[in-house]
Structures are given as C-alpha cells and as structure tokens.
Amino acid sequence: MNVDGKHYRTVWLEGRELALINQPLLPHRFEIVRMPSYRETAAAITTMITRGAGAIGATGALGMVQAVLEAPERGFHDFIADAATTMRATRPTAQNLFYGINQVLRAVESCGDDIGAAREAARHAGQEVADDDAACCEAIGQHGLAVVPDGARVSTHCNAGWLAFVDWGSALSPIYAAHRAGRKVHVWVDETRPRSQGARLTAWELGQEGVSHAVIADNAAGHMMRTGQVDLVIVGSDRIAINGDVANKIGTYTSALAAKANGIPFYVAAPTTTIDPDCDHGDDIPIEVRDHDEVRWTWGWSDEGRFMRVRTTPDGSPGHNPAFDVTPAELVAGIITERGIVPASRAGLEPVARR
C-alpha cells in the first residue's frame, strides 16, 4: 500500500536487521524502526510496535531468521529452540505467529547439521511467509469484491488493513479492491478502545487510499445498524477454530450480535494461515489479557503539538483488559480467504486449513 504516494510493506528484512513501521506513533508520525536482533524483534511484537495477525506472523518468521543468522555454530540448534520459545511467548492469541515460526523451524530442521544450508533455508522460508501473506491478502480482496457492491456502507472493527498484514490487509482488502474498481464505498470505523486501532490506524489507512469513512465510538455500531446505515460488516481475525468460531479484537462479538439482530451479513476476512486446525472450538483459543493501564490511560496529540499520555479513569480505579473475544460460528455469514469465501464450519475450513 502507499504512504504519501510511496509503496511500503509493514515489515521487511534488511541484511540481519528487521525494518518495521512504528505503529504506536500513527497517525501522528510515520516512522521506520529497525530491530538489530531477534530479541528486539520479539520485544517489538510484545509492545505492539508491530501488530495484526499477518504482520505478527511475518515478523515472527523473520525474527526467527534473525535468530538463525545470529546462532553460534556451537549450540546452534539449542540457540534456535530458545529463540522460538521467546518468540512464541510474545502474543498468545494470533495463530499466524505460530505458523510463521514453524515454517522457519521446519526449513532449518530439513537441513540437518549443515549450518550454512540452514541459514539460507531459513532466510528463504521467512521471506516466503511474508510474500505469501501479501499475496493471500490481495486475493482476499478480489474474492471479497463479491460482497461489496457499489454504494456499500461497511462497518469494521479494529485494524485489519495492510498495517495488520504485510500488504493489502484482510478486512480492508475487499474495500480497497472495490474502491480501485471504481465502486463507491463508505466505511464506519469503530474506534476500538483501549488502543484505538480503528481511530488511529484504520482511519489513517483509508485516508491514505482516499476511501470515504467516518470514525464512530465503539458503542455506536449497533445504533448505525438498527437505523439502516450499515449494509454489511467485515472484520479480521487473529485465530479461527476449525469449527468456525472466530477470535478477534475485543468488541467483535458485540458487533456480530448487533449484525445478527438486524439481519446484516457479518463476514470475517482472513488468510488460511489464521485457521488453527488443532483448535476444535473457540473456547480453546487462549485470550491475551494485557496491562490494565491500557484501559486507564490513553495516548493522543495535544493542542500544543505534543504526543502525550493522559489518564482517563479515577486514580484508584483498577482496569481489566482482555484483548480479544470469540464470535461463535453461527453469527458468521462466511469467511473470505485467498481460496474464496468458505462457510464458517468444519466442513468449510478443513479443506483449506494449513499447518
């Protein structure tokens, strides 16, 4: 996707350094940061310098490439195993992270004790994860065109655009494809508290692409649906159980319930790497609980031109901060993948799931 007319990916490898878009600074400042080692890359995932299912997956894979390149010849495989443990612990919910890590590990293991071959195989596998993510998301856009007619008013939640993947995005990819095909599309952007990925990231992306949109409070989505101002909902996902239950940013379940109550189709867009074939049910998906200060404080741009943090709660009030929720399969009209739109069911997902 383009930023001020220049194409960027969300993450890429430069030699042994990993380059990332510093997402907490958006939309106020666009900055590229570089992580010189796998440990710093892991910290960037934990602190959400990079975030989003596909972006985490590619960052995890390329972070493992860094680990393979850093590993000493003595204790080579032990170093890589420790790095994989560190990388897996960064975010527990996103399936793409584990997929990306495993792809690099498989490439290394296939080389046995040939360390030179293992380093080269790891680099190739990591880049392949990133390239595959971008290609899948572009294909999701083309398949998703079928559900985004001219004049569509689309509701979305959180950020599942190109910033959340390597390029194109999942939930926003059909919107970008429709816009570039000349269709009129308007997007209602949930702000997505507590980190405001919708207000900060999705709105910024749509503005860069020139797509009509408006930011609404999280608790306004149901009103917009009930009053006939929404034609369909498209969201992303961080993990999809094999029965079709979907984990996504907290608040997605509420949006799905409102859509069901008002007869509005609720679609999930995700590459097949987001499907977890070993997870039978949504209740088995681990839900990350983040620092409660994310609920108690918020970041923003002051009238004086300072990017600053302010507390929005009473000093003594604690917070609770589950980062994701699970939407049951029966609320999902279909899952838009790079292989087409499939039912949110075991029969629909098993043929396309990847390990």
Reduce the DSSP state of residue 312 to 3 states and report it: coil
Do 63 and 69 contact (CB within 8 A), yes or no? Answer: no
- The 8-class DSSP code of residue 47 comes to T
Do 271 and 338 contact (CB within 8 A), yes or no? Answer: yes
Please confirm whether the linkage preceding 314 is cis (ω < 30° from 0): no
Task: Report the Cα–Cα distance between both ends of the chain, in Å, rounded.
Answer: 28
What kind and span of H or E run contains 32?
strand 32-35
How far is Cα 302 from Cα 307, in angstroms, rounded to an integer?
6
For residue 148, give the nearest of 131, 123, 173, 113 by alpha carbon. 173
Which one of 238, 245, 276, 325 is the catalytic residue? 238
How far is Cα 50 from Cα 353, in angstroms, rounded to an integer?
25
Tokens representing 145 are: 């065109």
Tokens representing 217 are: 């409070």
Beta bridge partners of residue 308, listed in sequence order: 300
Write down how long the chain is: 355
Do 178 and 209 contact (CB within 8 A), yes or no? Answer: no
Task: Give catalytic status of residue 325 as yes or no.
Answer: no
Q: What is the DSSP string of 80-105?
A: HHHHHHHHHTS-SS-HHHHHHHHHHH
Do 154 and 231 contact (CB within 8 A), yes or no? Answer: yes
How far is Cα 11 from Cα 163, in angstroms, rounded to an integer?
9
Do 241 and 209 contact (CB within 8 A), yes or no? Answer: no
For residue 136, give the nearest of 205, 215, 240, 53 by alpha carbon. 53
Reduce the DSSP state of residue 328 to 3 states and report it: coil
**Could you give the residue numbers annotated as active site?**
238
